[in-house]
Amino acid sequence: MITPRRSDNAPDDPGPALDSGDGARGLDVRDLVVRYRARTALDIPRLSFRPGITALTGSNGSGKTTLLKVCALLLRPAAGSVSLGNRGPDPDKRANLRRHREAIGYLPQAPDFPGHFTVHEAVTYAAWLRSVPRARRAETVRRVIDDLNLTEVTEARLRSLSGGNRQRAHIAQAVVHEPAVLLLDEPTTGIDVEHRMELRTYLARLGRTRCVVLSTHHTEDIELLADRVVSLREGRIVFDGTPAELTARADGGTDDGARSVERALNALSSGGNSRQDADGGAR
């Protein structure tokens, strides 16, 4: 078992991790602008995420990954702010940043973690980094590994795993500290059908009490999992509503479910029949 070190003076038990009961019930985005050189990558006047599952959709380059990175404080916007929901202003900016990071669990689209770590080591390391108290760290890691059906590969090295098992191990790293807000970039990519269904069941359970935002190209994720859909095109919100409201936009045809979702998303991506709520996408 590895013994990771943050610093020689790091405390063994830095205190409890923030969970969904600590008041951080979501995220509020206000007047957000992100630019890459002369191009505006995001322009979102107002957007709020609350407990439940929001599917973030849009074609490649629409701004999904950029928005998740800004919400995770990994990318600094040119203007605007992202703050924890249901919290009053805190004059201590450093405390605000710490609280925000503690409340967030983030899975990037292409996780980069050393492949020589075993599943157990990788999740334990994430728990330690995210300040899960030493007294309950082992039990927390075991529970997350069990919840994500990784028990049989717990001592396998990440580089030896199938793509699906490796993805679920990275998801375990993102959720091990029980974040109030979970940001997942294409979480079901590379996972076989059986494990994708298990993962959706797990995420649905988290979404009952936590704010889960996932970017996805899978129409089945929207049909079977999402409470809300936010669709981006060229960095702007072109739809914000329920899956039922989305499928109602699909013109013609008699197909239900994923096919209707696909038709509606194709129309939004192409610029046809687009709509943004009058309040700028707030919910």
Residue 188 and residue 138 in contact, taking contact as beta carbons nearer than 8 Å: no
Would the pLDDT of 59 be above 50? yes
Q: Which residues contact 109 (CB under 8 A, 6 or more apart)?
A: 65, 185, 186, 189, 215
Mean of pLDDT values over 135-156: 96
Question: Can you give the pLDDT at residue 275?
Answer: 46
SS3 per-residue string spanning the chain: CCCCCCCCCCCCCCCCCCCHHHCCCCEEEEEEEEEECCEEEEEEEEEEECCEEEEEECCCCCCHHHHHHHHCCCCCCCEEEEEECCCCCCCCHHHHHHHHHHHEEEECCCCCCCCCCEHHHHHHHHHHHCCCCHHHHHHHHHHHHHHCCCHHHCCCEHHHCCHHHHHHHHHHHHHCCCCCEEEEECCCCCCCHHHHHHHHHHHHHHHCCCEEEEECCCHHHHHHHCCEEEEEECCEEEEEECHHHHHCCCCCCCCCCHHHHHHHHHHHHHCCCCCCCCCCCCC
Question: Can you give the pLDDT at residue 94?
Answer: 81
Predicted confidence (pLDDT) per residue in 234-244, tens digit? 999 999 999 98
Residue 48 and residue 282 in contact, taking contact as beta carbons nearer than 8 Å: yes
Would the pLDDT of 41 be above 90? yes
Would the pLDDT of 164 be above 80? yes
What is the CATH architecture assignment of 20-270? 3-Layer(aba) Sandwich (3.40)
Question: Can you give the pLDDT at residue 18?
Answer: 31
Residue spans per domain, the chain:
20-270
Tell me the two tokens of residue 156.
Answer: 């396998």
Predicted confidence (pLDDT) per residue in 245-271, tens digit? 988 876 554 455 677 788 888 888 777
Label residue 87 by pLDDT band (50, 70, 90).
low
Residue 215 and residue 139: Cα distance in Å, rounded? 30
Would the pLDDT of 8 be above 50? no
* Vertex 181 angle, CA 176 and 186, to 5°: 80
Would the pLDDT of 14 be above 80? no
Residue 23 and residue 87: Cα distance in Å, rounded? 7
The least confident of 48-62, 192-206, 223-237, 253-267 is: 253-267
